[in-house]
Amino acid sequence: MILYKGEIYPNEKQDKLISSLKEDMYLTLEKGESLSYLTVIDACDKLYKRVINHEFDNIALPLLKSLNMPYSSLERYAKVFSKEGLLKKIDIELGDLKNGLLSLDENNNRYYEPLGILFHIAAGNVDLLPAYSVVEGLLVGNINILKLPTGDNGLSILLLKELIKEAPVLKDYIYVFDVPSTEVETIKQLSSFADATIVWGGDEAQKAARAFVDIHSSIISWGHKISFSYVDNNVTDQEIMDLCKSICLSNQLFCSSSQGIYLNTNDIDELHRLAKRALPIFVKVSKEMNTLPLTMKAKNSLLLYNDKLEGNVDNIYQDGGVSVVVKEDHKLELSYLFQNIWIKPLIKEEIVNVLKPNKNLLQTVSINKNIKDKEGITRLLAKAGATRIVSLGDNSRMLAGESHDGEYALRCYIRIVEVIK
């Protein structure tokens, strides 16, 4: 499906609509009118209230069931569209710029303008992400073209169409196309219309973007990240349980999901003791939350069985479809995902040396609250490149005003204009 000026069209209309897209967007720009963030926030808040009042349960509930996720997950992620959350985002990210003209000196003012046109290439690992990416562009007045991720379930177009119903002026600022990634020339064409291409995804998505983005357009990457936990022997069973709940809720598919645990030790026996503590807690949480797809349970069992054949059986602790793998190296890496974690040694003194080479991959680190030398460890993790340091279990929490990977998106989607008084 295609969303064009507030109307839904079949994919067969794609070429015809794209042929008029540039002219339609330029007409909007030529009007010279500014899209108020208050208009966008008001529309988002109305839509948010409709979502939490179960108006879209006919789509949301089957989606949640397919992902084995509780309704509370939808409520939590939908909250990013609330008035309270978006106003806080504006205040934090724009500051005084939100007020319009600001004095630079006695002869000059400054203010922000939107970049103009943004082309969003969304990832499919979070179902509200494509729509939210567009909302961020709207908040600072940009026209937005969205390429839907492969396998999108229709939620993005539904939300954006309903958003336009709440504020019809938005129809000139939102265009959504269901273009397969194999249609490279079409993607190049859409990107050529944009002042910036917003890329969500892993290394391959980033490489592809560099190949097709026009030299006169910029790339803004919200790319693949790896997150983990860092603990010492003061970690409690309750904190381990909180971490397991976070892992089971996300199935480790988010950039913020913990892939494994670094333990502040050089003693390999301590790694095994932690693994033996964690496994029964992990199994209990996994059974209670029931978020592990049977297909992935079977796949991971085969992967782990292969590892046992090739490696040391004593290093793999598994039960009930989940696993804890003890490794003696320091390498930061993905787990098998879907409720499988690694445990590795990493003493405090080696944090920067081991993690700094991964500086562009680091995102969230969760730590135990009573970790020894908490201030020193958080400082070292930040020096190594981490952008979020949270409590165990809070890896995938969402707070109004949070940055994207250490940057404020709204600041990336504007330019500062200086003008004489």
Model confidence pLDDT, tens digit, residues 20-78: 999 999 999 999 888 999 999 999 999 999 988 888 888 777 777 766 667 777 777 78
Angle in degrees, CA 357, 203, 193, rounded to 5: 125
Q: pTM for the whole thing?
A: 0.85
- For 201-243, what is each residue's pLDDT tens digit? 766 777 777 778 877 888 898 877 899 999 999 999 999 999 9
pLDDT at residue number 204: 72
pLDDT of amino acid 173 = 98
Name the burial class of residue 1, with classes exposed (0-12), middle (13-18) and buried (19+) by CB atoms within 10 angstroms of its CB.
middle
* Entry field: residues in the chain: 421
Count Cβ atoms within 10 A of the Cβ of residue 282 and give its class: 0-12 exposed, 13-18 middle, 19 or more buried: buried
How large a percentage of the chain has pLDDT more than 90? 55
For residue 417, give the 3-state DSSP assignment: strand
H helices of 253-364, in order, are 268-289, 294-310, 351-355
Percent of the chain with pLDDT over 70: 91
Pairing of strands 340-345, 322-326: parallel
Q: What is the pLDDT of residue 279?
A: 96
- Cβ atoms of 43 and 36 within 8 Å: the answer is no
Q: Which residues of 360-370 are buried (b: 16+ CB within 10 A; e: fewer)?
A: ebbbbbbbbee
End-to-end CA gap in the chain: 47
Res 19 pLDDT > 90? yes
* Residue with more model confidence, 346 or 323: 346
Structure confidence by residue, pLDDT tens digits, 149-191: 876 777 789 889 999 999 999 999 999 999 888 888 999 999 9
The rounded Cα 137 to chain-centroid distance in angstroms is 15
**Residue 274: its pLDDT value, please?**
97
Look at residues 101, 110, 115, 97 and name the one whose alpha carbon lies nearest to residue 219. 115
Mean pLDDT of the chain: 88
Domains and CATH numbers, the chain: 2-224+405-420 (3.40.605.10), 226-391 (3.40.309.10)
Residue 342 has pLDDT above 60, yes or no: yes
pLDDT tens-digit readout, 290-320? 777 666 555 666 666 566 656 655 588 888 8
- Buried b / exposed e along 217-239 (16+ C-beta atoms within 10 A): beebbbbbbbbbbbbbeebeeeb
